[in-house]
Amino acid sequence: MENETAKKRVEELVPLLKYYTQMYFDDKQVVSDYEYDMLMKELREIEAKYPDLVREDSPTQRVGSSIKKGFEKVTHEVPLQSLQDVFSFDEVREFDERMKKLAEENDIKLDYVVETKIDGLSAALEYKNGVFVRGATRGNGLVGEDVTENLKTVKSIPKKLKEPVDITVRGEVFIGKEEFEKLNSDRLMDEEEQFANARNAAAGSLRQLDSKITAKRPLDIYIFNVQKSDSIKFETHYESLLYLEKLGFNVNPVKILCDNIDEAIEAINKIGEDREKLSFGIDGAVVKVNNLELREKAGTTYKVPKWAVAYKYPPERKETKLKEISCQVGRTGAITPMAILEPVVVAGSKISKTTLHNEDYIKEKDIRIGDTVVIQKAGDVIPEVVEVVKSKRNGKEKKFVMPDKCPVCGAQTIREEGEAAWYCNGVECPAKLYRGIIHFASREAMDITGLGEAIIDELIKRGLINNIADIYKLTFDDVASLKKNGKKFAQNLINAIEESKSRDLYRLINALGIRHVGVKIAKSLSKIYNTMDTLMDASLESLCMNDEIGLIIAESIYNFFREEQTIDLINRLKEYGVNMKAQKEKRSDNRFKGKTFVLTGSLEKYSRDQAGEIIEKFGGKTSGTVSKKTSYVIAGEAAGSKLTKAQSFGIPIISESDFDKMIK
């Protein structure tokens, strides 16, 4: 590669890798580990050949990530460095040659410890007098984030050691394979974005600003190094690991003592063969110099220690037959196509089923029923179809078409413009029942106090609720049976259910869970149509005449009220006495009449819905877009493009405190 060609490639690689690196440390993954590693390897090789092309902002010159806003900074007394990746045994032997030379020069015995490179998030744990006092993420290696409260929720971290020592240790926070699969399966059912791999899941969980969220995630940790200990001295790394176990730490279970590099390579191969038997994911094997004095002699670069390398295993791919494509309906009605495969073992796991994400993914890869496909485990955990072997087609393969009826309830399925997923339009679909009732009972919908997630789950399990309308046929005895001594709770919930029957029409419209219809549009519909019957009879043209409702939203409302399930639900709610009419507004203060507000950024005291309710209470209205007709823009923290647009139009911009003064 000539210098000019190399320079051009560096200019391509640096920004690309910087972006991938930032996404990785923001707990998002936009490229596979293997692809990232190969690009980084290419950049290192160019920089080694052309040192004048090494840029200050090159990702090869940096460690770790920026600090997430909301966490206190922690300066590591001993840096938490990264590791030098290698991809061949030739590179491992080159490392050994360097260490041999150094060991001979200093007359020190050279041996190695080979450990699994756990796929998680590195953290330092600090103990004073044997008590856990602080924990921090690696961050950029020198400065990390104080995540002490989150780490206290990890059951495998001892709060008190078996000896009263002052010590700082380093470990890897991770989520086990089975736990990760369950976590992603639950998220798939809830139509939440799936984690790309266990590492992202662990990192995202540990870096939550609310430790209650962290506590709900199945985090674990393995300790693999003593970072600092003034009172205890060790001769070897292996000795220190045994001592950490004695103190009560959950130490990396795979730590193989090797007399020479041949044994170390044998250990790497053994870990590779057994990796799928491990209960946790790995992304390599680490070869470390065992003697701590020799480590001191070897030293470190800014980014990595010279006394260790991380061998990265290539991803394993297998061919198999795609027998069928079935569809899974999630709790919000999203329909996910699933590939049913002839079982195949990939990286040690038997794979017989995997997600095909959506219709566009199937079309992009031209996946057909009967195809021979290539399966790979993304991040060593999630199986995925990476390509079709079109050369093996015999003409009998069938193109897949998304169903026009829900496979669970038979209602119409819809895919709206700009959306990737198809959805079930049935309001009584059993797959959507749990989430549907949670929304129906929520504060901004029918506001049924006491009808929380756990109670809803139990009512469904016992068969006491099979659709939304069943809420209104619950009896005192039904509810009292859910809890010991539950009479007071039962009476309160029955009262709350009865009270909800008189809610305003807009709350009921919002509670029905019509796609794209929230509180704001529900209020507009309530004002325009006044009764549920009038709304249900509204034509598509009539719905489109409202300024706030475009064609997509209008079609969603129109189609929803033409489903038999919707008509059945409304009729049942009427029978139970649920209000179907808009209540007349009583407003004496119209200070915002004729004014339109746009909210941007996050406010401290109010949610956007709360601020919107206050504005409407005083006769004003809110909009999601800035135009020359906008009266005020309320700008909170991290205000975005709407603020810039308002400034260009010369629209008055007010703060939250200004808004407070206006409503007093």
Residues that are catalytic: 117
Torsion of CA 610, 616, 620, 621, to 10 degrees: 70
| Strands 334-346 and 349-355, bridge-based pairing | antiparallel
Integer Cα distance of 13 and 18 in angstroms: 8
Q: Could you write out the DSSP letters of every residue in 376-389?
A: EEETTTEEEEEEE-
Whole-Å CA distances, 584 to 432, 525, 536, 615? 33, 14, 20, 18
Residue 430 DSSP one-character state = G
- For tokens 């103190």, what's the residue? 247
Which of helix, strand or coil describes residue 527?
helix
Residues in the chain, total: 664
On whether the CB atoms of residues 652 and 631 are closer than 8 A, the answer is yes
Lookup: tokens for 138: 């690696």
| Strands 368-369 and 398-399, bridge-based pairing | antiparallel
Helical spans, DSSP H, in 167-219: 177-189, 198-206, 211-216
Whole-Å CA distances, 322 to 177, 382, 474? 25, 17, 46
Integer Cα distance of 607 and 433 in angstroms: 27
Integer Cα distance of 436 and 427 in angstroms: 8
On whether the CB atoms of residues 329 and 429 are closer than 8 A, the answer is yes
Picking from 390, 336, 339, 331, the residue whose alpha carbon sits closest to that of residue 359 is: 336
Q: Could you write out the DSSP letters of every residue in 312-364?
A: PPPPPEEEEEEEEEEEEE-TTSEEEEEEEEEEEEETTEEEEEEE--SHHHHHH
Q: b/e map of 297-310 (b: 16 or more CB within 10 Å)?
A: bbeeeebbbbbbbb
On whether the CB atoms of residues 559 and 414 are closer than 8 A, the answer is yes
Which of helix, strand or coil describes residue 255?
strand
Neighbouring CB atoms inside 10 A of 45's CB total: 12
